[in-house]
């Protein structure tokens, strides 16, 4: 079962994701600022209700926890080892 496809740049940062959202195909582009921090995320599937989310990175700069404007965790990604990770789990 394929959950999604991911593309990374030469620095190992995720730059593109193709997957499903509400059973519809979705392409997401990730944009980074000059210091290498994620600055924006653009999607072909607009959210039905706009929402704010904040990414918290681990010590290697990989996004691991998403929180909303009330600091509630909305999603997590756990690492198995270097360059490998478990599937993201959304918590809603």
Whether residue 3 contacts residue 87, with contact meaning beta carbons closer than 8 Å, is answered with yes
pLDDT interval class at 92 (50, 70, 90): very low
The 10s digit of each residue's pLDDT in 46-87 is: 777 777 888 888 887 777 888 888 889 888 876 665 555 555
pTM for the complete prediction?
Answer: 0.51
């Amino acid at each position: 079962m394929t959950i999604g496809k991911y593309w990374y740049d030469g620095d190992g940062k995720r730059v593109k994701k193709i997957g499903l959202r509400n059973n519809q195909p979705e392409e997401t582009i990730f944009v980074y600022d000059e210091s290498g921090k994620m600055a924006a995320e653009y999607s072909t599937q607009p959210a039905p209700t706009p929402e704010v989310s904040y990414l918290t990175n681990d010590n290697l700069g990989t996004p691991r926890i998403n929180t909303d404007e009330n600091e509630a965790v909305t999603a997590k990604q756990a690492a198995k080892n270097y360059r490998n990770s478990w599937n993201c789990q959304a918590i809603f």
